[in-house]
Structure formats: C-alpha cells, structure tokens
Amino acid sequence: MFANAPLWPERASTIAGNVDALYIFLLVVTGMMCLLIFTCILVFAARFRARPGHEAEQNEGSIPLEITWSAIPFVVFMFIFVWGAVIFFKERTPPRGSMEVYTVAKQWMWKFEHVEGQREINELHVPVGRDVKMIMTSQDVIHSFYVPAFRIKQDVVPGRYATAWFHATKAGTYHLFCAEYCGTMHSGMVGDVVVMEPAQYEAWLGGGTATGSLVTTGQGMFQSLGCPTCHRFDTQGRGPNLTGVFGKPVLLEDGRTVVADENYIRESILVPSAKVVSGFKPIMPTFQGLVTEEQMNALVAYVKSLSQPQSGGAAGTPNLKPPTSQQSTENPR
C-alpha cells in the first residue's frame, strides 16, 4: 500500500514498512480524533448559535465525562507508545553478522570505507538483501545520517561511534541527507545510497581502487604505532592481549564491567586511563592527535578482526588474511 503513491517516500528497507504501518495507523487514529472534535465544534457552533429566544443552558461539568476523555486517550497513547518502542528497538539493534561500513562525516561530506578497503565520498554502494551496519563518527561537528527511503536517521557525534543499520530491499538510488544542521553547506552535505543486486555489488567491489582491506591497514597501523610492544599475543605483555576481546565483557580495575564495543576500543586508544583493565597499570600513553578518524577506524576494524572465529583460535597468531569479498557470500543472511 502507498508504495508508489505520490507524496509518499519510497520504501526500500525492511524497517520502512514497519514505520509506514504505524504512521498510517496514527493517521487514521488522529484523523478520527480530529473529525470527532471538529464535528463537535462545528455542530455545536451552528446548532447553539445565538439567536432571539435561545438561551444558554448552564452546566458545571461532569466527572464521568472527564474520566472518560482522560482514560481513553491515555490507553490509546500507551498503545502507540509500545508500538513505537518496538520499532525503535528493532531500528537500534543491528543483527549479528551485519556487513560493516565505516563512516567519517565532516563539514560537508560523507566519507565511507568498506572493510574490503573501498573508499567513497558522498556515495554509498550496498548490496540488496544484506544487513548493513554503519559505524560512524564525525571529524568536527554533529551531523546526522539520514536515508528517508530506509526511514533511518542517526546523529553522528564527534568523539564517539554511533551505529545505525538497515537491510535494503530494493535496488535503486536513494537520497542520503545530513539531517543535523552543521554549518554553511549543510544542505550540500547530501549524497546517494546506491543499492545494487549482490552480483553487481561484488563486481563493483572488485573493480575499485582499494588499497588493501581495512584490517590490513589497521594491522599496519598497529605495528607502526608500536602497539605490539605491550599488547602481545600471549599473557606476558604489559597491556592486555587483544585476541578475542571484542564484544566480550571486560572487568575493569575499579570493579566495573564494560562490554568491549567499538566505542570502548576507541576510548582506550584516545583516553587509555579512562577504563583500565583489571590487573594492568595505567601506563599506556594517549594517541589523541596521532591517529586520524580513518586510521582509528582501521585500528578498530583490526582489533575486531582479532575476535573473529577464524582468527581467534590459534594461540595468539592473528589472522593476517584479510576478510575477502568471498566472506560476504559465505555469510548469507
């Protein structure tokens, strides 16, 4: 319904249908409320208009009526609330095994980097029928990643990672907007999301000018910054062994437990003393200002790769083989 209606946005993701369904429900419910109120007003205004021989009939109010018109809206509102919340949880929970795209937003462009190493600006190529998780940060001010056809939006805040996900259902080219005002050319910070059939997407991936996968780049960074000096792949290092860490809970020196997600890795590189792993000393220097956002993404992707099944197994030898494009076909969801 409404798929090709005029004045209706295109629907090209799995979540779009859910959002539209609630939206249509709300249009009906609020339309009925409007109709009820406006009809009452118009009918009363006409029927009880001032005219000779007509007098107003006083009446103070009615408790049962007050209770009725408080309780019924309340119940309806709670129903809408729960429905909206269910969709929101789905929107905010990327499925496991999503293909990942790292994103750096800056005044006034979108920079994307696929794990295979392809980089693009203001254009994002994704395959139809796959879960895609955007791992996004900003180099300067707050931006917002907005694809109306997917009905998703996520503010991209500097200094942290924000994530969003979608599952495109229809090949085509869709608007990408920056939705959080970000300065002079805010309205120029737009681009295209190009959704392709899987085969075409593979061809596109192969045809690019990738300079090695994100993980390889990250591994290079890891070496050149001297990280392995302390983060050894055994238990003898001055820093924790990073194998298998990602996605797991980590016990901290102060007794708290945090889950090692992208933001935790990022923070540990930039502000190492913020959350020190239990049993280690806060001796790591900060890398603030030494790594760009793109290099940070590569480092994060590398640390994450140390926890992937094929790399975490053998004691400490990180898998140097980059996850190739064949990986994405192995893992159809």
Q: What residues from 24 to 53 belong to the interface with another protein (CB under 8 A)?
A: 26, 29-30, 33-34, 37-38, 40-41, 44-45, 48-51
Q: Under a CB-based contact definition with an 8 Å cutoff, are residues 192 and 124 in contact?
A: yes
Among 186, 210, 233, 307, binds another protein (CB under 8 A): 186
3-state SS of 89-122 is HHHHCCCCCCEEEEEEEECCEEEEEECCCCEEEC
Q: Which stretch binds another protein (CB under 8 A): 110-118, 159-167, 235-243, 322-330?
A: 159-167
Nearer to another protein, 108 or 201 (CB): 108
β-bridge mates for residue 277, sequence order: 252
Collapsing DSSP to helix, strand or coil, 172 comes out as strand
Collapsing DSSP to helix, strand or coil, 148 comes out as helix
Q: Is 170 in the site for another protein (CB under 8 A)?
A: no
Distance CA 182, CA 245 (A): 36
Q: Is 203 in the site for another protein (CB under 8 A)?
A: no
Q: Is 12 in the site for another protein (CB under 8 A)?
A: no
Distance CA 51, CA 45 (A): 12
DSSP state of 285: P
Nearer to another protein, 170 or 232 (CB): 170
Among 56, 209, 255, 281, binds another protein (CB under 8 A): 56
- How near is the Cβ of 114 to another protein at its closest, in Å? 23
Q: Is 59 in the site for another protein (CB under 8 A)?
A: yes
Q: Under a CB-based contact definition with an 8 Å cutoff, are residues 212 and 113 in contact?
A: no
Nearer to another protein, 146 or 302 (CB): 146
Q: Is 2 in the site for another protein (CB under 8 A)?
A: no
DSSP state of 192: E
- How near is the Cβ of 167 to another protein at its closest, in Å? 15
Q: Are strands 99-106 and 109-114 parallel, antiparallel or unpaired?
A: antiparallel
Phi, psi of 152, deg, nearest 5: -120, 150
Among 102, 110, 112, 146, binds another protein (CB under 8 A): 146
Sheet holding 143-147, edge to edge: 123-127, 191-196, 172-178, 143-147, 152-156
- How near is the Cβ of 231 to another protein at its closest, in Å? 25
- How near is the Cβ of 206 to another protein at its closest, in Å? 31
Among 98, 103, 118, 154, binds another protein (CB under 8 A): 154
Q: Which stretch binds another protein (CB under 8 A): 84-92, 96-104, 218-226, 317-325?
A: 84-92
- How near is the Cβ of 234 to another protein at its closest, in Å? 34
- How near is the Cβ of 109 to another protein at its closest, in Å? 15
Number of Cβ within 10 Å of residue 93's Cβ equals 10
